[in-house]
Amino acid sequence: MTISPLMPVYARCEVAPVRGEGCYLFDAAGQRWLDFASGIAVNLLGHGHPHLTAAIQRQAATLIHVSNLYGSPQQTAVAERLVALTFADTMFFTNSGAEALECAIKTARRYQYAVGHPEKFRILTFSSAFHGRTLATIAATDQEKLRSGFEPLPDWFRVLPFDDLAAAEAAVDESVGAILVEPVQGEGGIRPASPGFLKGLRSLADRHDLMLIFDEVQCGVARTGTLFAHEQYGVVPDIMAIAKGIGGGFPVGACLATEKAAQGMVVGTHGSTYGGNPLAMAACGAVLDIVADPAFLAEVQRKGERLRAALEQMIPNHPIFDHVRGLGLMLGLKLRADSRAFVNHARGHGILTVAAGDNVVRLLPPLVIGEPEIREAVEKLSAAAAAFHLPEAA
């Protein structure tokens, strides 16, 4: 047999961490990397954060799991906090981002069904979006690498150019019941939507009674310097999917909705065995204790500006770098070369980053980074760039 015990769907790199401490990861031999990937925007408190670790340890010793058939004071407590902090009136807890999106899509579908418009089943989505790896969420994107070999996929989605309001307006017909968008595209290349686009989608949704769904799985939970990215746009969704950072590394997600949007989600329409179990809720509660603090959010904004300024100063020194974009500590370094090759190369210089579409290197540090880590990151990226051989122009 030649297949590995792990299904070979990832091109796993040579880094094999066994331990983390703050903003650093270590392998078994003690080699150290500065972690500007954070498990792809997950470990927002870094590694081994005492408050998160203690909360999980305490809950693990008390009660790890009970079924959603029973009452859950742990879920209610976290939900009440998120209701108080957001537009939402209600929520469903999941184990991942894709599941949060599945719930968001089902909530939008059930809304149109409940108000007597089951024919409004179609959802507008946008080019280069990433919403997960389930069959519905790969149907929601035009990214060929995600869809290839899985077609035919459900044709419930119409993929339109991102940030093009006129295209969205033109696409609304009798079959459209919802719009799904990342306020800041992550995987697609750290592309913040323009304010006019999100505001325009809100007004389009209002005019046609469409559900506006925000996918804040990557850009949400303090990453951009506000608890959710849409707060900076002054635009409120009807439904929002979150995950990644909310558990600080524990697998958890949620679909948040207004009372109106969730009116079709009655007993029996959805469920999850693990979703929102007490251990997951302990992690969420501990993360919120820290990141929902306005002083913490202001620090994320300040550090994001500081990192961006340091990167902007570095860029002219290296022909490989084009520009920096993004919001808060969700930054993208646009390259004039293949970003995957550079991310691989930069690992050898002791820094972990993540490649994204459009030849962008994602910089997604733990939100607890300090000035020394910002300086070290820029030094390492600079050293990596100096040693990187740009391919000859064709």
Q: For 180, what's the count of Cα atoms within 13 Å in the CB-facing half-sphere?
A: 37
To ligand PLP, the closest distance from the beta carbon of 215 in angstroms equals 5
In the bound state, the residue with its beta carbon closest to ligand PLP is: 97
Binder among 35, 102, 187, 376 for ligand PLP (CB under 6 A): 187
To which residue do tokens 């009136």 refer?
Answer: 89
All residues at 6 or more sequence positions from 281 whose CB lies less than 8 Å from its CB, including other chains: 59, 72, 74, 75, 77, 78, 93, 252
To ligand PLP, the closest distance from the beta carbon of 278 in angstroms equals 20
- Draw the binding track, 189-218, toward ligand PLP (x: CB under 6 A; -: no contact): --------------------------x-xx
Binder among 97, 177, 276, 365 for ligand PLP (CB under 6 A): 97
Nearer to ligand PLP, 100 or 351 (CB): 100
Cα–Cα distance, 364 to 80 (Å, whole number): 28
Residue 163 binding ligand PLP, by CB under 6 A: no
332 — phi, psi (to 5°)?
-125, 130
**Other beta carbons less than 10 A from residue 236's beta carbon:** 17
Cα–Cα distance, 122 to 1 (Å, whole number): 44
**Other beta carbons less than 10 A from residue 275's beta carbon:** 22
All residues at 6 or more sequence positions from 87 whose CB lies less than 8 Å from its CB, including other chains: 236, 237, 240, 256, 258
Residue 102 binding ligand PLP, by CB under 6 A: no
To ligand PLP, the closest distance from the beta carbon of 193 in angstroms equals 12
Binder among 243, 324, 355, 374 for ligand PLP (CB under 6 A): 243
Residue 96 binding ligand PLP, by CB under 6 A: yes
To which residue do tokens 């894709």 refer?
Answer: 98
Count residues binding ligand PLP (CB under 6 A): 15
Nearer to ligand PLP, 24 or 228 (CB): 228
Residue 178 binding ligand PLP, by CB under 6 A: no
Residue 373 binding ligand PLP, by CB under 6 A: no
Cα–Cα distance, 167 to 181 (Å, whole number): 14
Residues of the shown chain interacting with ligand PLP in the complex, contacts defined by CB under 6 A? 96-98, 101, 130-132, 182, 186-187, 215, 217-218, 243-244
